[in-house]
Amino acid sequence: MLLQVRRLPARPAVGSPARRSLGLGHHGRVSSISKAPTATKPLAVCCSVANPAAAAATTMERPWKLSDARLVLEDGSVWNAKSFGASGTQVAEVVFNTSLTGYQEILTDPSYAGQFVLMTNPHIGNTGVNPDDEESIKCFLGGLIIRNLSICTSNWRCTETLDEYLKKRNIMGIYDVDTRAITRRLREDGSLIGVLSTDQSRKDEELLEMAQKWKIVGVDLISGVSCDAPYEWLDKTDSEWEFKNKKSTETFHIVAYDFGVKQNILRRLASYGCKITVVPASWPASETLKLKPDGVLFSNGPGDPAAVPYAVKTVQEIVGKVPVFGICMGHQLIGQALGGKTFKMKFGHHGGNHPVRDNRTGRVDISAQNHNYAVDPESLPEGVQVTHINLNDQSCAGLAFPKMKLMSLQYHPESSPGPHDSDLAFGEFVELMKSNRL
């Protein structure tokens, strides 16, 4: 029998009374550096063995794994966990994702660069990973935080386990940590920087200092995930998975700015009849305009939109000259290019269950979202329409400026993962390009 017998220390008084009101369940193996440094020692584990010394000598042969990793948050809390994937020490911002499925697409969404993704769905890894669900050429995120790592993998497309996959890509994962308690903390206090470590030689205090010194606001993260040189993209959604009935009759040439583009955006545009030239984030607007494209896509991408003025300038130089579509980071850059402001949200939107209303029609879509920043609609100039709002918090979820043949969405119409409700947005962009041809 395995008993985990660590008593929870009192919650650290690190600020608001709300922190103290957060109840932790019996799985909440959390301690505080400031209050209970001794409690950060490896989890005490009781088991019914006759000879404890012999048991210690055969640790590796035990059928269960002991706590061997820590997540230290910038508020001073220390969460003991078990590691999978790569080992080491990594710093990033913790965000929680409420998607029930699609962890592989989440792992390969470049917009998560600089972040640890905590999955609120407690059971992860059961379908393994496969070659078809990749959203980019590598995993850019900081690491993965989950409650239960599935002990078996079973899916007809699976080619390797999540553990093997993360190991190969040098991405850290932790499990057996109270993801609900961490999520509640993030909801109360907002996003927190954390350090994940399997290195037992590092003190909690050292990891805390690392977390507290690290910054994500004001950092250009798109230059680290963008492609190096332009390339053509032709792949459509595989016929097996296509759900759009109407065949595209016209072809449109799109230049897609890769700020960390998810491949399903490119696949969906190709399915809607587009031939796409993908260009790096730093590609000059003048070169793009020389190609005389039917439209320009500004893709999703990681980090702070206010930290990439060169990209805002590019958007400014293109908007009004050719129809444009911005998705997520692309939407935020358009907001800035129009003279608006972006701001950091408390804990952002990450998941496949966000209701969004199209203000023009009243239609509500359930959407896939992944962003920590948003456009302040009050800061936008006259003539710019807020076409969509997020119904959870009324934040701006889409813009249009008909005079400029411009549309943008704060969320992910391509899903992957998530519901397909908003796929029609790609059709809308095609109509915008068509109207420009007439």
Ligand X SMILES: NC(=O)CC[C@H](N)C(=O)O
Q: Which of 331, 350, 371, 412 is catalytic?
A: 412
418 binds ligand X (CB under 6 A): no
What is the C-alpha separation between 102 and 418, in angstroms, rounded?
8
Indicate if 414 belongs to the active site: yes
- Rounded distance, CA 419 to CA 122, Å? 20
* Span near ligand X by CB under 6 A; candidates 15-23, 132-140, 176-184, 300-308: 300-308
- Closest to ligand X by CB, 28 vs 302, is 302
**Contact in structure between 256 and 276 (CB atoms under 8 Å):** yes
**CA 217, CA 311: separation in Å to the nearest integer?**
16
**Residues, the chain:** 438
Q: Which is nearer to ligand X, 12 or 302 (CB)?
A: 302
Name the 3-class secondary structure at 160: strand
To the query of whether residue 242 is one of the catalytic residues in this protein, the response is no
The correct pick among 77, 111, 127, 271 for binding ligand X (CB under 6 A) is 111
Longest dimension (CA), the chain: 84
Is 61 designated active site?
A: no
Residue count, binding to ligand X (CB under 6 A): 11
Question: N- to C-terminal Cα distance for the chain?
Answer: 74
The one-letter amino acid at 312: V
Q: Nearest approach, Cβ of 390 to ligand X (angstroms)? A: 13
Query: x/- string (CB under 6 A) for ligand X, residues 208-247?
Result: ----------------------------------------
What is the per-residue binding string for ligand X in 254-293, x denoting contact by CB under 6 A? ----------------------------------------
Q: Which of 74, 328, 371, 388 is catalytic?
A: 328
- Minimum CB separation of residue 256 from ligand X in Å reads 13
Which residue of this chain has its Cβ atom nearest to ligand X in the complex? 328
Among 116, 298, 373, 426, binds ligand X (CB under 6 A): 373
Closest CA relative to residue 274, chosen from 240, 237, 328 = 237
Contact in structure between 98 and 120 (CB atoms under 8 Å): yes
Instruction: Report DSSP state, residue 137.
Output: S
Give CA 201 to chain center in angstroms: 30
Considering the rule CB under 6 A, would residue 295 count as an interface residue with ligand X?
no
> Is there binding between residue 301 and ligand X (CB under 6 A)?
yes
Residues in region 302-361 near ligand X by CB under 6 A: 302-303, 328-329
Q: Which amino acid is at 332?
A: Q
Nearer to ligand X, 111 or 183 (CB): 111
Our finding on whether 416 is near ligand X (CB under 6 A) is no
Sorted by sequence, the CB contacts under 8 Å of residue 305 that are 6+ apart come out as: 311, 312, 329, 332, 333, 335, 336, 342, 373
Helix (H) or strand (E) holding 206: helix 204-213
Query: Least Å distance between CB 302 and ligand X?
Result: 5
Extended beta strands in 163-303, E state? 172-175, 192-197, 231-233, 252-258, 274-280, 295-298
Residue number with CB closer to ligand X (39 or 374): 374
Q: Does 114 bind ligand X (CB under 6 A)?
A: no
**Using CB under 6 A as the criterion, which residues of the chain lie in contact with ligand X when the complex forms?**
111, 300-303, 328-329, 370-373
